[in-house]
Amino acid sequence: MKLVPRTRAPLQQLFPTRVSEPIGSSSGSQWPVAFTNYEFPVLGQGTISFTFKTDQPFRIVLASQKDVDGTLLVLEVGLQKTALRRDNGTGQAGVIAETTAPKALIDPGVAISYWLSLDYLNARVRFGKGEMLPQLVVFEAPLPLSPAPAPTLPAGATAKARREAHKKAAIEAAGDYKNLRYIGLAAHTETSLPVALAHLLWPLPVVLAPPPVLVPSDRITLDMIARNQAAAIASLPNACQVLYGNVAGPAVELDTPEFPDFSAAINYSIVTPGCICYEKLKEKAGEFGKSEPDETYLRITIGPNKGDSPGSPYVLEIWPGNHYSPIHDHGEACAVIKVLHGDIWVELYPELSPSVTDYFTEAVFHQGEVTYLTPEYYQVHKLVNRNPPGNMTATIQCYRYPDNDTIHWEYFDYIDGDQIKQFTPNSDWEYLEFRALIRAEWAKVN
C-alpha cells in the first residue's frame, strides 16, 4: 500500500465497482457514499489520504460497516467550513467540531493530499494536508468518548495486569468508535465525486513525526528518544539501511590522507575563472528552466546506474555558497544524505505543487551528519547552502528504490514556475575523473 504520484503508474482500483452512482448510502441522502476498497487493518486506528484537485466540498467517511447505518465519523471539507460529524447528515446536532480556518478548507484548483487520521487510543481525530506529519495537521478534534471507568485491580496486581486493565478501559471508553474500519467518499448530490489522483492507506495514526536526523545505534540515547531528536537506521526501510551501511562510516570523507586539500581545491575551482568547476557552473545556469545562476550545483556520480535507483545510486554533490536546488521530489525513492564538508539547509515542503511554495520546516546538517527521505516522509525538499560565496558544501546523495517498488520512476520531479517538470539524473563528471582533474588543477597553484 503506497502513495503513487500522478506522474507515475496508473492507480490501483479505488472502488470495488465502477462508480456511476455512489453506493452504500441511505435512500434520499444528500451525501451519498461510495465505499472504497480500503479498510483499516487495525480497528479504530489508521490514516487515509486522497489527492484531489477540486473546488467542490467532499466528505471522507469512516464506518463500522459498509453502509451508513452503523457508527460513523465523517469529515466534511468545504470552501467556507470544515466539520467533523458523527453522522452523514446535515444537521448541526451531528457536528462534533468545526472550523473556518482557511488552512483547513479546500484549496480550489490545487492538487493536494487531504488526509484523515483516526487514533482511538489517544481519543483524537486529525485532518491534514500533504505528507502525513503532525506538523501538517490543519484541524484536530477529540473523539466524543464516554468517561473511562476506573479499572478495578486486586492488591499486588502485576505491571502487565495493570497495562491490560487500562487498555481495556480505553477500549470501553472508545465505544463503537473502536470498530471503525471501512473508508468511503461522498459528494453532495448536486456534484460528483472528486477524482482521486493518488491515495494511500497507512495502518497507524499520525502521532509523532520521525526525526530527520540519523545516528548510529550506538549513539542513540534515552534523551534523544524522549525528545524525538534522532532516529536509528534500524527504524527506516531496508533500502535506507543498505545506503546508510555503505556511506555512514567515518572513512567516507572528502579530505583524505592521499588528498588532504580536496575541499580547498574544489573551493578554489569554484571561485576561479577558467577552472573546471567555475566554467561548469556557468554552463549549467538555467538548467532548471530559470535564468538564476545560483540555482545550480555539481553532480559527480560514483558508479553506474545499476537499475535499483534513479540514476547513479551514489552522487557527490557540490553546492557553492548561496546556491540551491529547485523544489523537487525523488520519484518515491529512499535516500540517505551525508554531509562531507560544510553545511546544508534542507527546506521541507508538504506537497510537490506549483501552488505550494512555502516550506513547513527546515533543518540544517553539518559535516558528518546524516539525513534521509522515504516515500512517505520528507520526499519533497529544497537544498540550500546558505554560507557566503567561497564556502562550498559537499554532500553524498545516495538513492535506492524501496524493495516493493516495481515501477522505478527514473526522474526527479521539480517545480519550474507554474509547472512540474522531470529532471533526468545526469553526471557532470565521474568521481575518479573529477578528483584527478581537481588535483591537477590544484597542483598548478600549490
For 177-199, write each residue's pLDDT tens digit.
999 999 999 999 999 999 999 89
Tell me, what DSSP letter sits at residue 246? H
Cell of residue 229, nine digits: 531528536
CATH superfamily assigned to domain 213-443: Jelly Rolls (2.60.120.10)
Place of cell 557532470: 428
For 265-282, write each residue's pLDDT tens digit.
999 999 999 999 999 999
- CATH no., domain 33-202: 2.60.120.200
- Angle of the 262-271 helix axis to the 276-284 helix axis, nearest 10: 50
Q: In the predicted model, is pLDDT for residue 342 greater than 90?
A: yes
Q: In the predicted model, is pLDDT for residue 322 greater than 50?
A: yes
Residue range 18-36: mean pLDDT, rounded: 67
Q: How far apart are CA 426 and CA 288, in angstroms?
A: 13
What is the H or E stretch that residue 222 is in?
helix 222-227
State residue 3's pLDDT score.
39
Tell me, what DSSP letter sits at residue 39? E
Distances in Å between the Cα of 82 and the Cα atoms of 86, 295, 296 are 14, 39, 42
Concatenated DSSP letters of 387-413: SPTT--EEEEEEEE--TT--S---SEE
State residue 53's pLDDT score.
94
Asked whether the CA dihedral 50, 421, 308, 394 is positive or negative, the reply is: negative
State residue 349's pLDDT score.
96
Residue closest to 77 by CA, chosen among 39, 135, 127? 127
For 76-128, write each residue's pLDDT tens digit.
999 999 999 999 999 999 999 999 999 999 999 899 999 999 999 888 999 99
Q: How far apart are CA 382 and CA 362, in angstroms?
A: 9
Sorted by where each begins, the domain ranges of the chain are 33-202, 213-443
Torsions phi, psi for 278 (to 5 deg) = -55, -50
- Length of the chain (residues): 446
Q: Give all strands (DSSP E) within 53-166, no chain letters.
A: 58-63, 72-77, 82-85, 95-99, 112-119, 124-129, 137-142
State residue 1's pLDDT score.
33
Residue range 63-85: mean pLDDT, rounded: 95
State residue 175's pLDDT score.
65
Tell me, what DSSP letter sits at residue 443? H
Cell of residue 191, nine digits: 456534484
- The reported pTM is 0.86
Tell me if domain 33-202 and domain 213-443 are identical in fold.
Answer: yes
Q: Model confidence at 166, in pLDDT bands (50, 70, 90)?
A: low
* Residue 123 contacts residue 141 (beta carbons within 8 Å): no
Q: How far is CA 108 from the centre of its chain?
A: 22
